[in-house]
Structure 1
């Protein structure tokens, strides 16, 4: 099995943090630049998939669904998968409190800090683990495509890899999100998952762990 992990294209929230105060996170659309970004990325993902059928699992947020649509890929099946959604920050956000929560999360750690009206990174980790377990059950099914496209969010993608590779929490917290419409490919080779290229790190992991 091969999994292509793709972060959504540029959304309104990526260029205007105040958008979260008037539009629910799940309803934030792509920008015009993001739509063009997704269109340009379509041939890249098509080349990665090759001639094999493709199963797409997509976060139900608007920006991820728009990204998948604009990739314009032939897919054998498309599943809107809530377990792949962004970390939940609650409903409409207040700008000053949002800044405070981001500061506290950075100081406390992105994995364990629980947002007052939302999730911790650990909560997201639990739900991506459930998704991966279900995907593993489908792997022997000859009717399920061998190539899988996951269109999701930066933190969610990092946690998917943390689960697949058994990375430490310290290493996870040392990694940067992929850029918008940036992809990674993980492939099962001789019973072990392989990552096509590492994530950028903003610091060395405090426990000495490395991506492998």
Structure 2
């Protein structure tokens, strides 16, 4: 069993933070660069998917759905599920740019996991909804013969890190020490007798304060 995790392409919000004041987060489009990134990622993702079949789970946000479309792998996909629990961390509704900057600084100082955004979510809230999602997905992968054994998930930076935290039992300190994937960056999780394994580590901007590390397969 494999889960291929893909972050969406560059969105308008990645290059213009004031866009969040005009457009709801879920409706932010890809930029032309983001569309190009998604198209260019397609052949690599297709190679990972093999001959299929594939179950695609995608955040319902515009930028993730468009990324999946531009990968051009629909012929390998057995089912596509728009899954709200894979959405981005909720920052509230249309955001004031000054307040947004204040909360970013507070969140960085307090920690991305526990700091709850006013009218929005904490990382812990995202972690909880991912636990619910994985609790439903895991039995399907293990016990439903009609469900593909390869899963493609198109989601968001923090959401992908937290999903890995759940499956790999990372500490909160380690999670907060890792960087998001680049736009259209991907990682592969494979299920073995020892549990889930990650194909390669995330970039790490500091050592984890508790001394824990990412577990990846050893190189033969």
Q: 1:150 maps to what in 2?
A: 153
1:119 to 118, 121, 126: 121
Structure 1 residue 196 corresponds to structure 2 residue 199: yes
| Cα root mean square deviation, aligned | 0.6
- Distance apart, 1:51 and its partner CA: 1.0
Equivalent runs, 1:57-136 vs 2, <5 Å: 57-73=57-73, 74=75, 75-136=77-138
- Deviations, residues 170-189 of structure 1 (Å, cap 9, x unaligned): 00000000000000000001
Query: Could you state the TM-score of these two structures normalised by the residue count of structure 2?
Result: 0.95
- Deviations, residues 65-87 of structure 1 (Å, cap 9, x unaligned): 00001111121100000000000
- Distance apart, 1:191 and its partner CA: 4.1
Moved over 6 A (4+): none
**Structure 1 residue matching 2:145: 3-state secondary structure:** coil
Gaps of 5+ in 1: none
Q: 2:218 maps to what in 1?
A: none
Q: 1:170 maps to what in 2?
A: 173
**Structure 1 residue matching 2:190: 3-state secondary structure:** strand
1: distance between equivalents of 2:168 and 2:113? Answer: 16
2: distance between equivalents of 1:191 and 1:25? Answer: 38
- Distance apart, 1:52 and its partner CA: 2.3
Query: Could you state the TM-score of these two structures normalised by the residue count of structure 1?
Result: 0.99
